Amino acid sequence: MAKLTYLGHSCFNLEDDKHKLIFDPFLSGNPLAQMSPEDIKADYILLTHGHGDHLGDGIAIALKNNATIIAPFELAVYCQNKGAKAHPMHIGGSFKFEFGKVKLTIAHHGSAVVDKVIEYTGNPCGYVVNFAGKNIYHAGDTGLFMDMELIGEMNNLDLALIPIGDNFTMGVNDAVKAVDFLKPKIVIPMHFDTFEVIKQEPKEFKERLKRSKTKVKILKIGEEFSF
């Protein structure tokens, strides 16, 4: 049994009785977040790209927990240069960790740490994670892409986490098509409402999929879901 907790934006905690993973831990900068990075316990931190709303508190959490960051090569090296432990991977590659298998997928987006200067951190990614016997896809930030059909076909997804916020990623219309490609048993929308430009009505996403075989689960921030 795996337990997923939504921490806001694209941040999810995924755990079983032995392992704790966190995706894209954007907490201290997120006006809607309820947890502070100091309260996070994690063994592994999976980062989809270098943007502040995804890398977020990743390095601080890694240092505090002596956790390993999993990220595309360039972003992993960026984190190592800040003192964090990291396992670099890249798109199409998979690796069997103690908690399960991780494979990196494409994501159509950018990846950089944006401050006064912009430091590019390679390509963004999505993740297919086999955890507690379940196949979970975290799409990261991305537009719709045709290869989602292949991801669905090859991974028999139990759960997909996909953005619906529009402006920076897929909006509702494209996310509905993504579900059609991915065919997960359950889909959870993410990356909406955090900022004004990505305000979205997740109920519309659910409504549009009411005849789909995929079950839409809308999680409130802080809500847990076992599957």
The answer to whether 24 contacts Ni ion (rule: CB under 5 A) is no
Query: Least Å distance between CB 171 and Ni ion?
Result: 15
* 51/134 with CB nearer Ni ion: 51
Q: x/- contact string, 107-126, with Ni ion (CB under 5 A)?
A: --------------------
From the centroid of its chain, how far is CA 85? Answer: 19
Decide if 71 contacts 104 (C-beta within 8 A): no
The contacts of residue 16 (CB under 8 Å, 6+ apart) are: 1, 2, 3, 99, 131, 132
* 15/166 with CB nearer Mn ion: 166
* 141/158 with CB nearer Ni ion: 141
**Which window, 26-34, 50-58, 59-67, 114-122, contacts Mn ion (CB under 5 A)?**
50-58
The answer to whether 193 contacts Mn ion (rule: CB under 5 A) is no
Q: How far is CA 177 from CA 78, 113, 182, in A?
A: 34, 30, 9
End-to-end CA gap in the chain? 6
User: What is residue 128's three-state secondary structure?
Assistant: strand
The answer to whether 141 contacts Ni ion (rule: CB under 5 A) is yes
Contacts to Ni ion from residues 33-52, by CB under 5 A = 51
The contacts of residue 117 (CB under 8 Å, 6+ apart) are: none
The answer to whether 141 contacts Mn ion (rule: CB under 5 A) is yes
* 10/155 with CB nearer Ni ion: 10
DSSP state of 39: G
Catalog residues that contact Ni ion under the rule CB under 5 A: 51, 141
Residues in contact with Mn ion by CB under 5 A are 53, 141
